[in-house]
Structure 1
Amino acid sequence: MANKQMDWDEEFVDEINSSDNNDFVRFFSKILSNWYWFAVCAIVGIVLAFFYLRFTVPTYTIRAKLLVSDERKGSGGLAGSALDDFSGLMGAKSSVDNEVEVLLTTDLMQEMVLADTSYIGYFTKGALRDEPIDVAPFRVQVLSNPMAIRSGIGFEISFGEDENLIFQDSDTSFNVRLSEPFMYPEVGTLRVERINAIDPTERYGFYVKPVHKAVSSFMQALEVSVTNKNVSTIDLSLNTSIPDRGVRQLNKLVQKYTDRNLNDKNVIADSTLSFIKTRLEAITIELAGVEDKISGYKQRTQLADMTEQSRLLLQNSSEYTKSLAEIDVQLSSLDAVLAYLKNPANPRVLPSSVMEQDLAFNGLITKYNSLVLERERLLLANTETNPLVLNADKQIAGLREDMISSLSSTKKNLELAKKKQSQMSVQLSSRIQEVPTIERGFIDLARLQQIKQAQYIFLQEKWEETAIGRTANVSNSKVIDSPRADEYPISPKGKIVYALALFFGLLIPVVVLYIKDLLNIRVVSIEDIKRTSRLPILGTISHSDDKEQVVITKSSRSAIAEQFRAMRTNLEFILNGGNRVLFTSSMSGEGKSYVALNLAVSLALLDKKVLIMELDLRKPSITSKLGLAVGKGFSQYVIRQDMRVEEIIMPSGKHENVDLIQAGAIPPNPAELLVSARATSLMHDLSERYDYILIDAPPIGMVTDAQLLSRYVDTCLYLVRQGYTYKEQLYIPNDLVAKNKIKPIHFVINDVKPRGGYYGNYGYGYGFGYGNYGEDRVVRPWWQFWKTK
Structure 2
Amino acid sequence: MNSSNNNAGPQGSKFNLRKELGRYLKYWYWFVAGAFVSVIAGIFYLRYTTPVYSATASIIINQETSNNRGSDMPDLGLASGLKTNNLDKEIAILKSKRLMHEVVKSLDLNITFFIDGQVRDVELYKNNPFTLKILKFNEKNASEFGGESYKADLNESGELSLTNLRNFTKINTQAGSPVDLDFATVVITPKEGISSFSNITIKFSNLESVAAAYRGGLQIIQEKEGSNVINLVMLDPVVDKARDIIDQVIFEFNRDAIDDKNLIASNTANFINERLDIINDELENVESGKEEFKESNRLTDIRTESQMFVQTASEYNERRQEIGTQIELVNAMLDYLSTSSNSELLPANLGIQESAVNQLISEYNNLVLQRNRIMRSSTELNPAVIRINNNIEQLKGNILQSLQSLRSTLRISQNEVNRQVQSVGSKILAVPSQEREYRGIERQQSIKEALYLYLLQKREENSLALAVTAPKAKIVDSAHSNGLIVSPKKKSVILGSLVLGLFLPFSVIYIRNLIDNKVRKRSDIEEFTQEIAIVGEVPKVKEKRELIIDKHDRSMLAESFRFLITNLQFVLLRTVNNQKARKILVTSTIKGEGKTFTAMNLALTLAFNRKKVLLIGADLRNPKLGKYQENFSNSLGLSDYLASNINCIEEFISNSKLNSNLKILGSGSIPPNPSELLRSEKLGTMFTDLENNYDYIIIDSAPTMLVTDTLIINKYADLILYIVKSGFTDKDLLEYVVANKRSGNMSNINFILNSVPRTELGYGNKYGYGYGVKKKTEFEWKSYFNSKTVKN
When normalised by structure 2's length, the TM-score is 0.80
Q: CA deviation at 1:305?
A: 10
Instruction: Tell me, yes or no, if the aligned pair for 2:616 and 2:665 is still in contact at 8 Å.
Output: yes
Q: Structure 2 vs 1, CA of residues 314 and 47 (structure 1 numbering), >3 Å: closer, same or farther?
A: same
Q: Check conservation: 2:52, 2:485, Cα contact below 8 A.
A: yes
Q: How does 1:90-489 map to 2 (within 5 A)?
A: 90=79, 94=84, 95-127=86-118, 129-135=120-126, 136-145=128-137, 147=139, 149-151=142-144, 152=146, 153-168=148-163, 169-172=165-168, 173-185=170-182, 187-195=183-191, 203-224=199-220, 228-269=224-265, 272=268, 311-334=307-330, 337=333, 350-363=346-359, 365-366=361-362, 369=365, 410-411=406-407, 413-433=409-429, 451=447, 454-455=450-451, 458-459=454-455, 461-463=457-459, 465-485=461-481, 488=484
Q: Structure 1 residues 523 and 97, CA, compared in 2 at 3 Å: closer, same or farther? A: closer
How far 1:442 sits from its partner (Å)? 8.6
Kindly state the Cα deviation for residue 19 of structure 1 after the two structures are TM-superposed: 3.1
Distance in 1 separating the partners of 2:276 and 2:194? 65
CA distance in 2, matches of 1:512, 1:716: 38
CA contact (8 A) 1:557 1:774 kept: yes
Shift of 1:67: 2.4
Alpha-carbon contact 1:563-1:769 (below 8 Å) kept:
no
Q: Deviations over 1:554-609 (max 9, x none)?
A: 43322222111111111111111552222222233433333333323322333332
2:67, 2:74 within 8 Å by CA — same for their partners in 1? no
- Measured in 1, the distance between the counterparts of 2:713 and 2:637 equals 16
Q: Distance in 2 between matches of 1:550 and 1:444?
A: 137
Amino acid at match of 1:115: S
Aligned CA-pair RMSD: 4.7
CA 1:198–1:729: 2 relative to 1, 3 Å: farther
Q: C-alpha distance in 1, partners of 2:329/2:217? A: 51
Q: CA deviation at 1:525?
A: 1.9
SS across alignment from 2:151: strand
1:357, distance to aligned residue in structure 2 (A): 0.9
Determine the structure 2 residue equivalent to 1:610. Answer: 613
- In 2, are the aligned partners of 1:65 and 1:234 still within 8 Å (CA)? yes
**Pairwise CA distance, 1:258:** 1.1
> For 1:371 and 1:596, how far apart are their aligned partners in 2?
97
Partner amino acid, structure 2, of 1:559: M
Match of 2:770 among 751, 768, 772: 772
Of residues 519, 523, 530, the one that matches 1:523 is 519
Look up the match of 2:569: 572
Offset of 1:539 from its aligned partner?
A: 0.7
- CA deviation map 1:440-461 (0-9, x unaligned): 8997787677556644554454
Alignment of 1:368-767 (within 5 A): 369=365, 410-411=406-407, 413-433=409-429, 451=447, 454-455=450-451, 458-459=454-455, 461-463=457-459, 465-485=461-481, 488=484, 491-533=487-529, 534-545=531-542, 547-548=544-545, 551-576=548-573, 577=577, 579-629=582-632, 631=635, 633-635=637-639, 644=648, 646-674=650-678, 676-754=680-758, 756=759, 759=760, 761-763=761-763
User: How big is the shift at 1:167?
Assistant: 1.7
Output the amino acid matched with 2:199: R
**Does the CA contact (< 8 Å) of 1:42 and 1:502 recur in 2?**
yes
Give 3-state SS (helix, strand or coil) of 1:204's partner.
strand
Distance 1:481 1:626, change over 3 A: same
Of 140-149 and 374-383, the range deviating more from structure 2: 374-383
User: Residue deviations 1:121-177, cap 9 Å, x none?
Assistant: 222234554333422222222222575533312212222242222222131322232
Per the TM alignment, residue 295 of structure 1 is displaced from its structure 2 partner at its CA by 14
Tell me how far 1:649 sits from its aligned partner.
4.3
Pick closer, same or farther for the CA change 1:87–1:589 going to 2, 3 Å.
Answer: same
Instruction: Check conservation: 1:582, 1:713, Cα contact below 8 A.
Output: yes
Q: Secondary structure at the match of 2:114?
A: strand
Amino acid across the alignment from 1:570: N
Q: Residues 77 and 36 from structure 1, CA distance in 2 versus in 1: closer, same or farther, beyond 3 angstroms? A: farther
**Paired residues of 2:294 and 2:300 also in contact (CA < 8 A):** no
Q: Take 1:394 and 1:605, find their aligned partners in 2: how far apart are those partners?
A: 106
**Shift in alpha-carbon separation, 1:119–1:78, aligned structure 2, 3 A:** farther
Q: For the residues of structure 2 that align with 1:270 and 1:729, how far apart are their CA atoms?
A: 93
Q: Deviations over 1:261-317 (max 9, x none)?
A: 1233244345545665676786697599599969999xx87769958xx65433223
Distance 1:322 1:294 in 2: 25
Contact 2:149 2:166 (C-alpha < 8 Å) held by counterparts: no
CA, structure 1 residues 290+723, in 2 after alignment: closer, same or farther (shift >3 Å)? same
CA drift at 1:35: 2.8
Matches of 1:84 and 1:428 in 2, distance apart? 34
Q: Deviations over 1:646-703 (max 9, x none)?
A: 5444432222322333444555554455455554344333322322222233333333
* Residue of structure 2 equivalent to 1:6: none
Change in Cα spacing, 1:453 to 1:116, as seen in structure 2 (3 Å) is same
Q: Does 1:43 align with 2:36?
A: yes
Stretch deviating more after TM superposition (498-507 or 107-116): 498-507
Q: Judging changes above 3 Å, is the alpha-carbon distance between structure 1 residues 305 and 390 closer, same or farther for their aligned structure 2 residues?
A: closer
Structure 2 alignment gaps of length 5 or more: 776-792
1:512-561 per-residue CA deviation (whole Å, 9 max, x = no partner) reads 33443344444322233234453111111212345447744443322222
Cα separation, 2, equivalents of 1:343 and 1:726: 92
1:636–1:280 distance in 2 versus 1, CA, 3 Å: closer
Determine if contact 1:78/1:87 at 8 Å carries over to the other structure: no
Alpha-carbon distance between aligned partners in 2 of 1:253 and 1:733, rounded to the nearest angstrom: 78
- Find the aligned partners of 1:448 and 1:753 in 2 and give their Cα distance: 118
Of stretches 702-711 and 191-200 in structure 1, the one that deviates more from structure 2 is 191-200
SS at 1:207's partner residue? strand
CA contact (8 A) 2:102 2:252 kept: yes
Number of aligned residue pairs: give it: 754
Q: 2:12 aligns with which of 19, 22, 26?
A: 19
Deviation of 1:348 after TM superposition, in Å, equals 6.5
* Counterpart contact for 1:559–1:770, Cα < 8 Å: no
**Bigger CA drift: 133-142 or 563-572?**
133-142
* Equivalent position amino acid for 1:177 in 2: Q
Could you tell me which amino acid in structure 2 is paired with residue 194 of structure 1? P
The SS at the match of 2:722 is strand
Q: 1:39 corresponds to which letter in structure 2?
A: V
Q: Distance in 2 between matches of 1:720 and 1:484?
A: 72
Amino acid at match of 1:184: L
2:770 maps to a residue whose letter is N
Which AA in structure 2 matches 1:97?
A: D
Distance change (3 Å), C-alpha of 1:96 and 1:243 = same
Amino acid at match of 1:696: D
Deviations 1:34-77 (A, max 9, x none): 33333333334334444444554444454444323335xxxx49
Equivalent-residue separation in structure 2 for 1:340 and 1:733 (angstroms): 102
The more displaced of 462-471 and 702-711 is 462-471
Name the SS of the counterpart of 1:473 in structure 2.
coil
Are the structure 2 counterparts of residues 59 and 344 from structure 1 closer, same or farther at C-alpha, using a change threshold of 3 Å? same
**Could you tell me whether the CA contact under 8 Å between 1:294 and 1:445 is conserved in 2?**
no
